[in-house]
Amino acid sequence: MTQQDILQKTIEYVKQEFSDDSSGHDWWHIYRVWKTALAICERDAERADAFIVQLAALLHDLDDWKFNASGDETPLRAKAWLDSFFLDPSITDAVCKIIQHISYKGAGAENKMDSLEGFIVQDADRLDAIGAIGIARAFAYGGYAKRPLYDPDSPPQLHANFEEYKNSKSATINHFHEKLLLLKDKMNTATAKRIAEQRHEVMVQFLDQFMNEWEGKDVG
């Protein structure tokens, strides 16, 4: 089986697994991450293994801690899928390591990603968390998780570690200050850093407008 065959089967598998998601982690999120990761490969990192990048991008949410009972990101489902193709163990290990370390885990948590392929997929995932689509996804997830839009009596917290971040139930607006506004300065590649600047400004403008409307400051 060729690499292209494996990628096509993986696309079909992931589309089916995420067909009814309403949390902002649907197939189209994965599609955007996949395409963005490929674009970063072409612009910034020709020496990266594009097969590993694509597999990791396509499978990166399969074991997301937010959607499994264990609350961690041990890539059990992703590994089982990859093992079904009898890939070289180095490929499977590389993809699984990316999946395990891709997520943001709090303002004070160390980024344990340590491969070029991992940096590319992480950037692509983080780019989809900011800008106009990032705003939409934040509120989609907030509704899914039954979080309030905003609570003035509950200020944002810069979580020191993954446990604090994972256990937070704060309002969606807090999520901008606890994660989304911090991502611009956490990008790894030149392409992602450039794109993040503009998307960051979209979020800043949105938050200014949100607070003006919340306080009625836009009423003539």
pLDDT tens digits for 50-81?
A: 999 999 999 999 988 787 766 667 899 999 99
Domain residue limits, the chain? 3-214
pLDDT top residue among 44 and 79: 79
Q: What crossing angle do the helices spanning 27-44 and 3-17 adopt, rounded to 10°?
A: 150
The radius of gyration of the chain from alpha carbons, rounded to an integer in Å, stands at: 18
Find out whether 10 and 55 touch, Cβ atoms under 8 Å: yes
> From the centroid of its chain, how far is CA 216?
33
Could you tell me the sign of the dihedral formed by the alpha carbons of 56, 160, 172, 199, in that order?
negative
Q: Which of 147, 158, 97 is nearest to 122 (CA)?
A: 97
Render pLDDT for 115-166 as a digit per residue (tens, 0 to 9): 999 999 999 999 999 999 999 999 999 999 999 999 999 999 888 888 888 7
For the chain, percent of residues with pLDDT exceeding 90:
76
For residue 32, is pLDDT > 90?
yes
Mean pLDDT for the chain? Answer: 93
Task: Look at residue 166 in the predicted model and tell me its pLDDT.
Answer: 79
Task: Look at residue 97 in the predicted model and tell me its pLDDT.
Answer: 96
> From the centroid of its chain, how far is CA 115?
17
For residue 7, is pLDDT > 90?
yes
Task: Look at residue 71 in the predicted model and tell me its pLDDT.
Answer: 64
Task: Look at residue 176 in the predicted model and tell me its pLDDT.
Answer: 97
Task: Look at residue 67 in the predicted model and tell me its pLDDT.
Answer: 75
Which CATH number is correct for 3-214, 1.10.260.40, 3.40.50.970, 1.10.10.10, 1.10.3210.50?
Answer: 1.10.3210.50
Q: H-type helices in 45-161, by residue range?
A: 50-59, 76-83, 89-101, 116-127, 131-144
